[in-house]
Amino acid sequence: MKIIQLDSVDSTNTYISVHCADMPDGTAVVARAQNAGRGQRGNTWEAAPGLNVTLSVLLRPERLPVASAFLLSEAVSVAIAGALDAFLSPGAVQLKWPNDLYVGDCKLGGILIENSLAGTDVARTIVGVGINVNQTRFLSDAPNPVSIAQITRRPAEVSAVVSAIAAAIAGAPLMLSDPHALQAAYADRLWRRDTLTPYIDCASGEHFTARIGGVAPSGHITLSLPSGEMRRYAFKEVAADVGGLRKNV
């Protein structure tokens, strides 16, 4: 695969979107520093230059219906989590729905997926990834960041993490051939899947506790309440409140 190395850029996702016409499938762009790194819903991503992974990969999935786009998000998330296990321990990285990367109740990284459509299919996907590798001091107001170095108590080689993640993302579309196995793998990685967790309904403000019942191919999450009631939510419709930290789910 081709990896383009940049010293500084506004956003690796934006760089690919501007230059993608000349890029083959699987092209990766990695930057030592981002000036306007983005997260979900326009949030910024803090990353000290040279200490972390700021990476984007261009994918051109074949005949992927828009209705199945979340399956690709699941595949990418599972692939990245598996790649990161090599730098931590097997199963250490969990997926906070829809696509944050957690170790325990701390955020190791995030994934931003941007799709471009052609009719009813996904024509191309830009996968942006931010991973905390060797940063040990975080200056933003993010409540719960953690890095590989903090977890393992030793620095990691950033270039090795970049190579592992880029390769994992490039190979992720292969998982789409078996959607049932993919969804099972995603479910196995879900953060707090088997833990009764406090939540807040963002529309009503109601507080309740629930376990994750599952995630549909559409991306909707089902929460199972102790009473047996099942509730279905889309992204940003519910928030988890763990350890005093409110986290959007």
Residue 1, pLDDT score: 84
User: What residues contact 139, with CB distance under 8 A and at least 6 apart?
Assistant: 46
CATH 2.40.10 fits 197-248, yes or no: no
Percentage of the chain with pLDDT > 90? 84
Whether 86 has a pLDDT exceeding 80, the answer reads yes
* Alpha-carbon distances, residue 127 vs 13, 85, 116, 144 (angstroms): 7, 19, 12, 23
Question: What is the signed CA dihedral for 233, 56, 247, 236, rounded to 10 degrees?
Answer: -30
The owner of tokens 């979340």 is: 70
pLDDT band at 41 (very low <50, low <70, confident <90, very high): very low
Domain ranges of the chain: 3-189, 197-248
CATH classification of 3-189, choosing from 3.40.50.1820, 3.30.930.10, 3.30.450.30, 3.40.366.10? 3.30.930.10
**Alpha carbon distance 73, 62 (integer Å):** 15
Whether 120 has a pLDDT exceeding 60, the answer reads yes
Give per-residue pLDDT as tens, 144-190.
899 999 999 999 999 999 999 999 999 999 999 999 999 999 999 99
pLDDT band at 46 (very low <50, low <70, confident <90, very high): low
